[in-house]
Amino acid sequence: MSRGGTGGRQRVRTARGRTAQSTRWLERQLNDPYVRRAKAEGYRSRAAYKLLELDERFGMLKGVRRVIDLGIAPGGWSQVVRRKRPDAIVVGIDLLPVDPIEGVTILQMDFMDERAPALLTEALGGAPDLVLSDMAANTVGHQQTDHLRTMALVEAGAWFAADVLRPGGAFVAKVLAGGADSDLVAELKRNFTTVKHAKPPASRKESSEWYVIAQGFKGRADGGD
């Protein structure tokens, strides 16, 4: 690896066995200010700043006491919650292993497993104020298929949120280019007072990701809380 002058852009030589694509990824990481900031501030990923920026705009973390983090790996979002709300109870779930985070209960399993919702709510010990979802399906290289699989996870997260949130709670989820589809938006608007889309500055411009922020949960039709 060669370096430019102090503060200059770092360039990466293509090493034996490293593809041009992986070289570009490594170079982008080395020159990404959010990656450097995450390392300096002890966050596990640059994604932490996406949540921080969304919270600055929408205030979802204000006063939260119980939070569920869907797709927690590697843990940056839960770190943000714990730093901003040290007394909050946080439960996360992911297929991937996640190193322990103080004050966070982590379940390693598929959120689509029929046992997952009950295990999450049991571990939380009460209705959440906030359900976060940074879930995305593993890509297969076919754009339409990848989009459908990820949006299926978003929809599952939205149904779960509508089933477990306390009245007044919020649901925040990563969606893809174009935002949530019309049926999902309509469903969210039935369940929440406000539904908005946003692309935080920490989300790379070339990325297709957006976030849907649904706030002011109206409560379940059965009157549960």
126 has binding-site annotation: no
77 has binding-site annotation: yes
134 has binding-site annotation: yes
75 has binding-site annotation: yes
Helix (H) or strand (E) holding 149: helix 143-164
- 83-119 burial, b if ≥16 CB within 10 A, otherwise e? eebeebbbbbbbeeebeebeebbbbeeebeeeebbee
Distance (Å, rounded) from C-alpha 112 to C-alpha 155?
A: 11
Answer yes or no: 189 catalytic. no
- Of 39, 174, 189, 205, which is the active-site residue? 174
Compute the radius of gyration of the chain from its Cα atoms: 18
94, 99, 21, 83: which is closest to 48 by C-alpha?
83
222 has binding-site annotation: no
Task: State whether residue 107 is helix, strand or coil.
Answer: strand
Paired sense of beta strands 130-133 and 89-94, if any: unpaired
Q: Residues forming the annotated binding site for S-adenosyl-L-methionine?
A: 75, 77, 94, 110, 134
List the binding residues.
75, 77, 94, 110, 134
Catalytic residues: 174
